[in-house]
Amino acid sequence: MEKIEHIGIAVKDLEKSNQLFASLFGESHYKVEEVKREGVKTSFFKNGPNKIELLEATNPDSPIAKFIEKKGEGIHHIAFAVKDIKAEMKRLAAEGFQLLSDEPKPGADNKLVCFLHPKTTNGVLIELCQERED
């Protein structure tokens, strides 16, 4: 893994949270993107070299809706940039980590992503992401 790519924060109201984080960082988000298949609407902020992703559920079955129901708003996942997501998935599966998908999936911000089950990572949902080349 290369570095932390972004930190994902689950929010109830993306519009309100966009304002809140804009005040916090002194800079507005630079993109909003809906990932229909995952039932989420996301927005991205830059803070120096770091990125923060806010996630709002777009339907009650969304993983974000379930997360907020259980734990409330807050840090949802930490995403790590990888060069070769398939190779990294294979390596981590062999190390005993549970992957949430067998194949990388298209994620927000032009990425291929795969998540690791938090029960195998000390309760932290980890996202692997590789920049897409299309």
Q: Does residue 114 touch Zn ion according to CB under 5 A? A: no
Report in angstroms how near the CB of residue 9 gets to Zn ion at its nearest. Answer: 10
CA distance 91 to 24: 38
CA distance 50 to 37: 26
C-beta closer to Zn ion: residue 96 or 123: 123
C-beta closer to Zn ion: residue 53 or 88: 53
Strands (E), the chain: 3-10, 31-35, 40-47, 50-57, 74-81, 105-107, 111-116, 126-131
Report in angstroms how near the CB of residue 127 gets to Zn ion at its nearest. Answer: 5
Cα separations (Å) of 8 from 41, 44, 90, 103?
12, 9, 24, 21
Residues in contact with Zn ion, total (CB under 5 A)? 4
Contact 88, 1 (CB under 8 A): yes
Q: Which amino acid is at 30?
A: Y
Contact 117, 101 (CB under 8 A): no
Residues within window 49-78 making contact with Zn ion, judged by CB under 5 A = 53
Residues within window 88-107 making contact with Zn ion, judged by CB under 5 A = none
- The window from 7-15, 18-26, 86-94, 98-106 that contacts Zn ion (CB under 5 A) reads 7-15
Q: Out of 57, 79, 85, 125, name the contact with Zn ion by CB under 5 A.
A: 79
Report in angstroms how near the CB of residue 107 gets to Zn ion at its nearest. Answer: 6
Q: Out of 8, 39, 63, 104, name the contact with Zn ion by CB under 5 A.
A: 8
Residue ranges that bind Zn ion, judged by CB under 5 A: 8, 53, 79, 127
